[in-house]
């Protein structure tokens, strides 16, 4: 097993997982992360307190491989597709096929792949092209032989976009793009690089880092998600204040479709050359074709990267402060605000503190509650990343502290900031651990006008509690939220939701119903259908609430134009069946 081998279904690297190292203590295996190798004695007590149910270490659900149907590629077509790549770059192995048939939604995908139940449709063949020419040949073969093609990037999608329609009768070929990860050229002088679309965030940053550069795109899935995937879902990165979201970062991209290759030859910072085919690639979710490469903005690595944190008396104070920072254009590369419960979740992940560390932590707490009068059950916290020249960062920190004071915030130091960002990369592993013990959860996000943030969060909280009670959920549900991005006209709010599935006849169905219902609550309170996760399958039903019928028809017409026989039949968003 290679060092960087991933678990075929669950989140992340195969060498990293959470496991019990005592009846009420958890440990993260491996050595990749801040938490790796550390004992976390507070997590299970926190979970018990939040859910109001005892954690049962004996309730671990064993993994059960679902039945995988035989591949549907008949001998004649199999022979054709086998000629398109050497044996080490293609597979009909059931496990490889299963791994390519889902993304990372917890209940609808991972749970069904790992704990039985199975997926509606498993791809029949996996192929890994290494060049745009091979991609074109695969697409041409698919067109000629009535085969469906599904582009596959990092496999981290969380909108069901990688789920093949259950009624797809044609053979389905998964085109795994991860070998197409070359940086084709770097133009430091003009601040851009041409990069193959299968590159992951980790690989991209390593390659650019070798020449002192960065793309600045840091989605939570950075380690695994790919450039092509970012464009397809219209991704957002935590440092977008400095580097932009994916639509700001990508100057041009190449899309191979059944009707030919869509690309722009003249690549510029900004143009006015009529309607732009490129604009439809953002959010295309695999419906139009395969993205093979993109020209992206790159930046010299900043001279200084400094973390910071702020503690607020309440979430409302924090929101008001973020709003003021936006209005006064004091915009650190990243600034994220967690509500009280999410703050306490972060605390629950702290390792056992001994000696001076324990004393220091106790002192910090005492200072906050006694000297500043904070209430530990209502306070909220903000983590900050500032980047730039030392002068720029100094000025930014000064301005930030000045404005934060108006909102009664206390500066929480760099270490708490750094820790907040590092924990981001542990969330997927924690979810998988919980799910092993029947505690099911998911995150979902939205963008919402500033004025409606608190109203919307409260409505989601109420609706979740009511629905769980009505369905007989034991204990109570967990809901925490954070503001991860801010904009002039609003912000992105990211929810984490979960409850105990124990005692429910069909916890998966309950979970999916509740999630769907909460999405409607979000829409009803001014939230968008998604800020950066996309529509895929799980939000398809809401599209008529977002776009007019003529708008949706325009999208479908664009789809038909480039792919008249629906070779790219993944059926996401407006292109669903």
Catalytic (active-site) positions: 494
Integer distance in angstroms from the first to the last C-alpha of the chain? Answer: 40
Beta bridge partners of 381: 311, 338
Residue ranges in 19-102 assigned as alpha helix (H): 43-51, 75-82, 94-99
- The correct pick among 16, 236, 340, 480 for binding a copy of itself (CB under 8 A) is 236
| Antiparallel, parallel or unpaired: β 25-28 and 39-40 | antiparallel
Largest CA distance in the chain: 77
The answer to whether 190 contacts a copy of itself (rule: CB under 8 A) is: yes
Whichever of 43 and 522 has its CB closer to a copy of itself, that residue is 522
The answer to whether 549 contacts a copy of itself (rule: CB under 8 A) is: yes
- Give the nearest distance from C-beta 516 to a copy of itself in angstroms: 16
Cα 265 to Cα 129, 318, 350, 562, distances in angstroms: 23, 46, 51, 19
Q: How many residues bind a copy of itself (CB under 8 A)?
A: 90
Q: Exposure string (b/e) for 219-235, b if CB count within 10 Å is 16 or more?
A: bbbbbbbbbbbbbbbbb
**Sign (positive or negative) of CA dihedral 545, 548, 552, 555:** negative
- Restricting to residues 290-329, name those near a copy of itself by CB under 8 A: 297, 299-300, 327-329
Tell which residue, 417, 487, 405, 416, has the closest CA to residue 453: 487
Environment class of 338 (CB within 10 Å of its CB; exposed 0-12, middle 13-18, buried 19+):
buried
- Give the nearest distance from C-beta 567 to a copy of itself in angstroms: 14
The CA distance from 352 to 503, in Å, is 32
Residue ranges in 31-103 assigned as alpha helix (H): 43-51, 75-82, 94-99
Environment class of 569 (CB within 10 Å of its CB; exposed 0-12, middle 13-18, buried 19+):
buried
The answer to whether 213 contacts a copy of itself (rule: CB under 8 A) is: no
- The correct pick among 392, 394, 454, 512 for binding a copy of itself (CB under 8 A) is 392
Whichever of 153 and 490 has its CB closer to a copy of itself, that residue is 490
Cα 422 to Cα 28, 32, 307, distances in angstroms: 14, 11, 11
- Give the nearest distance from C-beta 185 to a copy of itself in angstroms: 13
- The correct pick among 394, 395, 454, 512 for binding a copy of itself (CB under 8 A) is 395
Whichever of 117 and 191 has its CB closer to a copy of itself, that residue is 191
The answer to whether 423 contacts a copy of itself (rule: CB under 8 A) is: no
- Restricting to residues 250-289, name those near a copy of itself by CB under 8 A: 251, 257, 259-266, 268-277, 279-280, 282-285, 287
| Antiparallel, parallel or unpaired: β 148-152 and 183-187 | unpaired
Q: Exposure string (b/e) for 420-452, b if CB count within 10 Å is 16 or more?
A: bbebbbbbbbbbbbbbbbbbbbbbbbbbbebeb
Please choose, out of 103-111, 114-122, 125-133, 532-540, the segment that lies near a copy of itself by the rule CB under 8 A. Answer: 532-540
Whichever of 484 and 500 has its CB closer to a copy of itself, that residue is 484
The answer to whether 215 contacts a copy of itself (rule: CB under 8 A) is: no
Whichever of 12 and 490 has its CB closer to a copy of itself, that residue is 490
Cα 108 to Cα 45, 377, 507, distances in angstroms: 28, 33, 11
Here's the x/- map for a copy of itself, 362-391, by CB under 8 A: it reads as --------------------------xx--
Residue matched to tokens 């109570």: 476
The answer to whether 191 contacts a copy of itself (rule: CB under 8 A) is: yes
In this structure, are residues 246 and 234 in contact, taking their beta carbons and an 8 Å threshold? yes
- Restricting to residues 61-90, name those near a copy of itself by CB under 8 A: none
Whichever of 233 and 480 has its CB closer to a copy of itself, that residue is 233
- Give the nearest distance from C-beta 521 to a copy of itself in angstroms: 14
Whichever of 193 and 479 has its CB closer to a copy of itself, that residue is 193
The CA distance from 31 to 45, in Å, is 24
Please choose, out of 304-312, 365-373, 378-386, 529-537, the segment that lies near a copy of itself by the rule CB under 8 A. Answer: 529-537
- Restricting to residues 431-490, name those near a copy of itself by CB under 8 A: 447-451, 485, 487-490
Whichever of 221 and 435 has its CB closer to a copy of itself, that residue is 221
The answer to whether 335 contacts a copy of itself (rule: CB under 8 A) is: no
Whichever of 99 and 538 has its CB closer to a copy of itself, that residue is 538
The answer to whether 214 contacts a copy of itself (rule: CB under 8 A) is: no
The CA distance from 534 to 235, in Å, is 8
Cβ neighbours of residue 394 under 8 Å, at least 6 residues apart?
none
- Give the nearest distance from C-beta 540 to a copy of itself in angstroms: 9
List phi, psi (to 5°) of 27. -135, 145
- Restricting to residues 140-169, name those near a copy of itself by CB under 8 A: none
The answer to whether 539 contacts a copy of itself (rule: CB under 8 A) is: yes
- Give the nearest distance from C-beta 553 to a copy of itself in angstroms: 7
Please choose, out of 59-67, 347-355, 496-504, 569-577, the segment that lies near a copy of itself by the rule CB under 8 A. Answer: 569-577
The answer to whether 547 contacts a copy of itself (rule: CB under 8 A) is: yes
- Restricting to residues 19-58, name those near a copy of itself by CB under 8 A: none
The answer to whether 523 contacts a copy of itself (rule: CB under 8 A) is: yes
């Amino acid at each position: 097993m290679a060092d960087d081998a991933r678990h075929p279904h669950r989140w992340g690297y195969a060498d990293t997982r959470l496991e019990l190292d005592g009846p009420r203590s958890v440990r993260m295996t491996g050595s990749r992360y801040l938490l790796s190798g550390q004992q976390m004695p507070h997590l299970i007590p926190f979970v018990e307190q939040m859910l109001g149910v005892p954690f049962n270490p004996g309730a671990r659900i064993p993994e059960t491989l679902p039945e995988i149907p035989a591949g549907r590629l008949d001998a004649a077509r199999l022979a054709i597709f086998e000629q398109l790549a050497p044996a080490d770059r293609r597979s009909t192995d059931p496990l490889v096929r299963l791994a390519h048939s889902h993304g990372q939604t917890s209940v609808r995908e991972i749970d069904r792949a790992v704990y039985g139940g199975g997926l509606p449709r498993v791809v029949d063949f996996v192929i890994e092209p290494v060049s745009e020419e091979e991609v074109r040949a695969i697409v041409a073969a698919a067109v000629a032989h009535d085969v469906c093609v599904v582009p596959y990037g990092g496999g981290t999608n969380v909108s069901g976009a990688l789920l093949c329609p259950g009624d797809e009768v044609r053979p389905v070929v998964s085109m795994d793009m991860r070998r197409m990860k070359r940086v084709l050229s770097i133009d430091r002088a003009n601040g851009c690089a041409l990069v193959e679309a299968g590159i992951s965030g980790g690989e991209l940053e390593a390659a650019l880092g070798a020449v002192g550069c960065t793309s600045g795109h840091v989605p939570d899935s950075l380690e695994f998600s790919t450039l092509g995937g970012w464009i397809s879902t219209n991704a957002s990165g935590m440092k977008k204040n400095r580097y932009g979201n994916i639509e700001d970062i990508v100057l041009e991209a190449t899309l191979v479709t059944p009707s030919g290759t869509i690309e722009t030859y003249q690549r510029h910072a900004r143009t006015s050359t009529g309607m732009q085919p490129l604009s439809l690639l953002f959010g295309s979710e695999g419906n139009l074709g395969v993205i093979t490469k993109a020209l992206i903005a790159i930046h010299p690595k900043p001279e200084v990267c400094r973390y910071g944190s702020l503690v607020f008396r309440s979430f409302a104070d924090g929101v008001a402060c973020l709003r003021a920072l936006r209005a006064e254009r004091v915009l650190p590369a990243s600034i994220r605000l967690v509500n009280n419960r999410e703050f306490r979740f972060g605390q629950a992940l702290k390792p056992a503190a001994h000696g001076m560390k324990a004393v220091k932590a106790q002192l910090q707490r005492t200072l906050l509650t006694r000297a500043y009068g904070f209430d530990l059950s209502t306070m909220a916290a903000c983590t900050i990343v500032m980047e730039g020249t030392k002068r720029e960062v100094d000025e930014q920190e000064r301005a930030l502290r000045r404005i934060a004071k108006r909102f009664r915030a206390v500066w929480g130091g760099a270490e708490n900031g750094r820790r907040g960002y590092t924990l981001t990369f542990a969330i997927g592993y924690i979810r998988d651990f919980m799910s092993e013990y029947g505690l099911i959860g998911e995150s979902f996000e939205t963008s919402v006008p500033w004025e409606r943030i608190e109203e919307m969060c409260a409505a989601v909280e109420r609706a979740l509690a009511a629905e769980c009670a009505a369905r007989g959920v034991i204990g109570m549900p967990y809901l925490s939220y954070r503001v991860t991005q801010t904009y002039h006209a609003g912000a992105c709010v990211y929810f984490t939701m979960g409850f105990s599935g124990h005692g429910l006849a069909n916890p998966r169905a309950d979970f999916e119903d509740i999630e769907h219902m909460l999405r409607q609550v979000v829409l009803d309170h001014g939230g968008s259908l998604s800020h950066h996760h996309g529509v895929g399958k799980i939000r398809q039903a809401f599209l008529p609430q977002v776009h007019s019928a003529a708008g949706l028809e325009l999208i479908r017409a664009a789809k038909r134009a480039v792919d008249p026989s629906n070779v790219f039949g993944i059926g996401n968003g407006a292109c669903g069946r």
